[in-house]
Structure 1
Amino acid sequence: MLIVTADDFGLHEDVNEAVERAHCHGILNAASLMISAPSTADAVVRAHRLPGLRVGLHLVLADGWSTLPWESIPDLVDIDGRFGDAMVRDGMRFALYPALRAQLAAEIHAQFEAFARTGLALDHVNAHKHFHLHPTVLGLILRIGRDFGLQAMRLPREAGGPLLLRPWLALLRRRLERAGIAHNDFVIGLSSSGAMDETAVLAALDRLPHGVVEMYLHPAVSSGARIGASMPGYRHADELAALLSPRVRAVAERVAPRRGGFADLLAA
């Protein structure tokens, strides 16, 4: 089964427009929603008029906006309510300081709660920049997410991916399976983030691994820093073009006739 997902839904109206186009006229099945991003309200309106689009929660705990105000989580965000991107440092702090973990738990709970208020069905959960690979973050997601209908998460395991990540991926997989949380077997897009153009997508489909595969992209109708300051080199518009490509659709229908979201995987 192939799940084709757009990350960063809600980040910018150009992203939201791309998600709608790629779902209605391309091969996009799912989107991961940043619940407190600048264009979240617009994304939620679009999602409600696209009943076939599977929407999940894209938890933001780095390089993005918090749901709680600075006063509630002063050790996690700056005074403007933005997380930094020093993920190694922050990961060590999460593991070492109980007070910080309490703030982290409060923010994760707030993001799940905010998603629930949208009225959208929760298809899946993942974390921006795959921060759910961190054992502390994962443990909190599993504990808190149960109360909000968490049933599926992304396993960011790419065929031939870096050796350094393998122990963390194995731990993540074991914990998901112990918790009864569905997951994909492989991802496509991790090593080519921001560069999943038509050529890259066709090549990936040509060597599609067996099992449940999630291909994730970052489509938008414009590209680069206009979408996000941390993505100056991302070719968002090329990724949208790939999702809309008739060649890509023809190959996808041939090699992966079973497509959908995590909800469809669970139903099957």
Structure 2
Amino acid sequence: MKRLIVNADDFGLHPLINEGILESHQQGIVTSTSLLASGDYFEDALSLSKTTPTLGVGLHVCLVGGLSPVCDPKEIPSLLIDGKFPMTHTEFIKRLYTGRIKGSELRKEIEAQFQKVMSTGLPITHVDGHQHMHVLPQVLPIVAEQMKRYGLTKIRMPDETPFLMNGVSSLGRWIGKVGLTVITQQAYTISRDFGFSSPLYFWGMMNGGQLREESLLAILKKVAKKQGVHEIMTHPGKDNHTLRSLYDWGYHWDEERAAMTSARVKEYIATHDISLIHYGQWTEGERS
């Protein structure tokens, strides 16, 4: 059986992203989303979640992206640059591996993010991370502690096959993907030791922020050939112009929303025995 989780990241970041995610769920194939505790529009996302119980909701650990922390910036200065998280994962990793980030402050912020999300009472289905920083060896044990604390058992492992380019010619993006895949393979050991589970296949890293219809269909053709649980990561939203003026990430939110609601995409899934689910709708034993 081919079971597919389609997860929209960055829920709570901006109303136009929240709207895009909701539309991609109600009119398309998105089954799951990841809630940003540090998002400026967290409360808006929370309200939408409570009125849309069919949408699975996970916790999106955030340590990068130029966003604000949940903690008072004065309490975690080593994690921040001018009061915000580093813009890129490269900058965060560099600061982490040169010892400029204090472990106690890292733990304090992650604990605060978990506490904020879990206190909402939403049935949180899984954990993942903004730019996948949750799988770093210095970060994952802290995340795992919090997952154990709150009884969470599902976690994203972003190990997309290094051989998939899927129309993207960026060497830098490919190198970053391969590096993260290596880290993720090591993270599996920690995850399994804690008794956590992850989908067998992960897709969307190479096309992150630019998962158009043709790229999505190419991934779905691979999903159709592989039994097991898959996850596709997406970033739908509305109004590229407005969002790009706020977030300099080079994302194509409108195009991803169009892909998620595409009639061709929905027809392909319906005719290839692919079952759409969210993280809360599969059992841990399905990973192997």
TM-score, normalization by structure 2: 0.86
Q: What's 2:76 paired with?
A: 73
Q: Distance in 2 between matches of 1:11 and 1:144?
A: 22
Q: What's 1:189 paired with?
A: 204
Check conservation: 2:79, 2:101, Cα contact below 8 A: no
Per-residue CA deviation, residues 194-239 of structure 1 (Å, 9 max, x unaligned), is: 11111111111112243211001100011156254222x3211111
What is the deviation of 1:88?
A: 4.2
Relative distance call for 1:179 and 1:224 in structure 2 (3 A) is: farther
What is the SS of the residue equivalent to 1:190? coil
Structure 1: unaligned runs, 5 residues or longer: none
What is the deviation of 1:89?
A: 5.0
Measured on the aligned residues, the alpha-carbon RMSD in Å equals 2.0
* 2:269 is the counterpart of 1:245: no
Q: Distance in 1 between matches of 2:222 and 2:201?
A: 12
Relative distance call for 1:48 and 1:199 in structure 2 (3 A) is: same
Q: How does 1:205-216 map to 2 (within 5 A)?
A: 205-208=220-223, 209-216=226-233
What is the deviation of 1:97?
A: 4.6
Q: How does 1:92-103 map to 2 (within 5 A)?
A: 93-94=95-96, 97=99, 100-103=102-105
What is the deviation of 1:266?
A: 2.5
The one-letter amino acid paired with 2:31 is N
Relative distance call for 1:89 and 1:242 in structure 2 (3 A) is: closer
Check conservation: 1:188, 1:215, Cα contact below 8 A: yes
* 2:247 is the counterpart of 1:229: yes
What is the SS of the residue equivalent to 1:67? coil
Q: How does 1:1-268 map to 2 (within 5 A)?
A: 1-63=3-65, 64-80=67-83, 82-85=84-87, 87-88=89-90, 90-91=92-93, 93-94=95-96, 97=99, 100-159=102-161, 160=163, 162-208=177-223, 209-223=226-240, 226=243, 228-231=246-249, 233-266=250-283
Relative distance call for 1:86 and 1:54 in structure 2 (3 A) is: closer
Per-residue CA deviation, residues 80-117 of structure 1 (Å, 9 max, x unaligned), is: 3x101353453354456597000000000000000012
Identity of aligned residues (%): 28
What is the deviation of 1:254?
A: 2.6
Relative distance call for 1:87 and 1:194 in structure 2 (3 A) is: closer
The one-letter amino acid paired with 2:68 is W
What is the deviation of 1:123?
A: 0.7
Q: What's 2:168 paired with?
A: none
Check conservation: 2:4, 2:275, Cα contact below 8 A: yes
Which stretch shifts more, 13-22 or 97-106?
97-106
TM-score, normalization by structure 1: 0.92
Relative distance call for 1:164 and 1:99 in structure 2 (3 A) is: closer
